[in-house]
Every structure is written in C-alpha cells, then in structure tokens.
Structure 1
Amino acid sequence: MNIILQASLQTLNKSEVILKQLCNTQLCDATVSPYYSSIGTHLRHILDFYDCILKGAPNNMVDLTARSRNKRVEEDCHEALNYLKKIIDHLKAFQFNETQLIRVVDDLGTGKIEIPYTYGALLSQANSHTIHHYAIINYIFDRLHIKINDSDFGFNPSTPKESLINK
C-alpha cells in the first residue's frame, strides 16, 4: 500500500477511537466559542473531504466544494462511524499513481477555481487537513472537559515530542 494512503489511514483511525469514547450529546455540542462548531461538524467535514476525492477519482476531477454535508454524521456517533468505515474501506481499495495529474475544484475565497494537482499532493493535503481539524477538535475537547486516551491527538507528526510533554 502507498505510504501516503498508510498515513491517511493511520490518521483517520484516530476518528474511530474518539467516536467510540463519545456520546451523541458530546458529538454535537456546539457551545465552545469563538466558532461554536461541534466535534461532529469537524469529523463530518474531514470525511467529506475524503469522500470528494474518492467520488472524483474515476474522472480525475475532484470537486472539494461538492461535499455531502450529512447532518446525521454530525449528530450521531453510529452514523459517523459508518461513514468513517465507508471512507476507510474505499481508501484501502483505492488504486492510484501518486504523480498522476488530476483537476481539483476548490473555493479559496474568491469563487470556484480549477487547480492542477497530483493524487499524492491531494491525499497529502487531506491528511494534513485532517490533523488540522483534529487540533480544533482537541481544543473543543479541552473546553468541554473531555479526556481522550491519545496524547498526540491533534498534533502534526513533525511536532517535537517534548512539545507534547510540556502541554
């Protein structure tokens, strides 16, 4: 299996660990300022990003603005786990050439644009994007006084371990 896919799967597996530790009330709690987003909205957003990649792969055209935004995934741990399993299963079977060019549609703030990518770059971005959202989720955990059993959750693998110890 490709190293980029292995990294993504390793990162996504953290979603299963946290979903199994949460109840639905915690998943959809949007009381933390300043953004008032929930753990569920961030997890759904992460999974939607991968879903866009997988749906667009057959045509080598990925539209990151065409997310499914299934509200049930944001509110129900069981639904979120099912969506996660679907994404992981599809990623495990995903065959690609990491240097193959694809077209990606995104909105960077000025409207939709088409950007040339490679599958390797897009999957690498998806993994980094996931870790970024895990950091936000970790902030929400802290404010909601939710403890999880993963001391490096939300930290980029390149973060020096001594930084994790001193937190």
Structure 2
Amino acid sequence: MEIKPAVHRIFDQLTFLLENLTNEEYSKIAEVLSCSSIGQHVRHSLAFFTCLFQGIPLGVVNYDERERDVFLENNTLEALGCLSQLSEQLEGLTDNPVLVLKQSYDQTSIEVATNLSRELIYCIEHTVHHLALIKIGLKEFKPDLVLPKGFGVACSTIKYRQSRQVSA
C-alpha cells in the first residue's frame, strides 16, 4: 500500500511527542486548547485509526462509535503501546478493501462507499489537524521543546512552502 509511509510519518510525529512529555504535561488541561489536554487530542487521533482498523474485517467504519479511553489520554506509555499496535496492524494491511463509512448528523445517519486507502488519508489529515493544535498547546507549557520539522503540517503545505522558496 502506497499510503503506509505517510501513516508512519504521522505515527513518528506522535511517538516523538509522547517520548518528550511527562504524564503530567501530557494530561495537563490547556486553556488555549479549549480546556482540553494534549493527551485528549492524541487519544482522539489514535481512536480514529483504531476504529478504522477494527472496521476492516466488518467492511464498515463508524468513527462515532470510537472508544474514549481515559487511561490512554493520561498515560504516555499507554499511548505509545497503542501506537505500536496500530503500526503492527498497518504493516499487516496488503489490500485496499471497499468499505462503508457510517456517519450520523443530528437525526440523520448516512452510509457512504469508501475504501481503506481513502480512510487512511482521512485519518492522516485528521491527525495532522490535531498535531497542529497540540503544537499550539505546547507553546503554553513546554515552549523549549524543539519539534521535528513539519510537525503538524500537512504534506501539501510543506510542498507549497518548498515551491515558494525555490521560486524566490
């Protein structure tokens, strides 16, 4: 699957983050994050990948039914363990099965045809968004942490910035 390296890059960013935060920093509520924690953003992102991987054998993905594991959002080692499991599951993927995405809005529930690659792209982009928010939160209580280049930045933005530097 061509998308695997992009997923690994996101997992690497999450791993770097988790390896550089204490549980206290990870679970600290940040006002700038609308009174949520970095751990809550990480847990949320990991839950989307988990939902996707759990839905593959069923042929159905429903992100609304994700588990909200409080232990995962308060413990960096637990989150690292989850990331490790997700990486193993990713490596086991070889096909691009057709899936059904179930989503609810208000009183309406819809089903949309999709596939594994498309949903992996969604999970990547969704996680990039949360990493960008996390980067803002880090400025509040861990400003000296030097993040890897491209942390929380979409690939398309990186490419655009690079093209602007070349043409300048």
Pairwise CA RMSD: 1.9
Equivalent residues, number: 160
After TM superposition, give the deviation of residue 87 of structure 1 in Å.
0.9
Counterpart Cα distance in 1 of 2:140 and 2:162 = 23
Change (3 A) 1:8 1:109: farther
After TM superposition, give the deviation of residue 118 of structure 1 in Å.
1.8
Summarize the alignment of residues 4-19 of structure 1 with structure 2, pairs less than 5 Å apart.
4-19=3-18
Structure richer in helix, relative to its length: 2
After TM superposition, give the deviation of residue 123 of structure 1 in Å.
0.9
Matched, 1:94 2:93: yes
Change (3 A) 1:27 1:66: same
What secondary structure does 1:95 align onto? coil
After TM superposition, give the deviation of residue 40 of structure 1 in Å.
0.4
Consecutive unaligned residues of structure 1, counting only runs of 5 or more, are none
TM-score, length basis structure 2: 0.87
Post-superposition Cα deviations, 1:76-107, rounded to whole Å, max 9, x if no partner, equal 1111111111111111112322xx43101123
Using the aligned pairs only, state the percent identity. 25
What secondary structure does 2:29 align onto? coil
Post-superposition Cα deviations, 1:38-86, rounded to whole Å, max 9, x if no partner, equal 1101111111000001101012111111111110110011111111111
After TM superposition, give the deviation of residue 112 of structure 1 in Å.
3.5
Runs of at least 4 residues off by over 4 Å: 108-111
Counterpart Cα distance in 1 of 2:90 and 2:76 = 21
Consecutive unaligned residues of structure 2, counting only runs of 5 or more, are none
Counterpart Cα distance in 1 of 2:108 and 2:153 = 31
Which residue pairs with 2:148 in the alignment? 150
